[in-house]
Amino acid sequence: MKMPRITKEFCPKCKKHTEHEVERVKSRPRSELKWGQRRYRRATSGYGGFPRPKYEGRQKPTTKVALRYRCKVCKKAHQRTCFRAKSFELKEA
């Protein structure tokens, strides 16, 4: 899917339609101090087999794409809900 790098969107801060720069959101590294991650590390540590079943079958053909829209007037950014795409590309328009 190809998408222009600059689009005209509604800015919730300005309360009107302005030009927005579109950027793809990178996923940050998981925190090791969260409770779920500590539980996962405790369950998988030590001698023995892996306690969770391994994923069988093929991978999903699409990945989720998260986009951040930054207003050119007030420089405030907002995100939209993610959507799935096989390939994603931002193009200059």
Domain limits at 16?
A: 1-26+62-87
Q: Average per-residue pLDDT in the chain?
A: 91
Q: Is 47 within a domain?
A: no
Where residue 12 sits, what CATH number does that domain have?
Answer: 3.10.450.80
Q: Is 50 within a domain?
A: no
Rg, C-alpha atoms of the chain: 20
Q: What's the pLDDT tens digit per position in 23-58?
A: 999 888 989 999 999 998 888 888 877 777 777 778
Using CA atoms in the order 55, 58, 61, 64, what is the torsion angle rounded to 10 degrees? 10
Q: Is 18 within a domain?
A: yes
Q: Nearest CA to 74 among 17, 24, 26, 6?
A: 17
Q: Look at the pTM and tell me if it is higher than 0.95.
A: no
Q: Is 1 within a domain?
A: yes
Q: Is 16 within a domain?
A: yes
What is the domain count for the chain? Answer: 1
Q: What is the pLDDT of residue 81?
A: 85
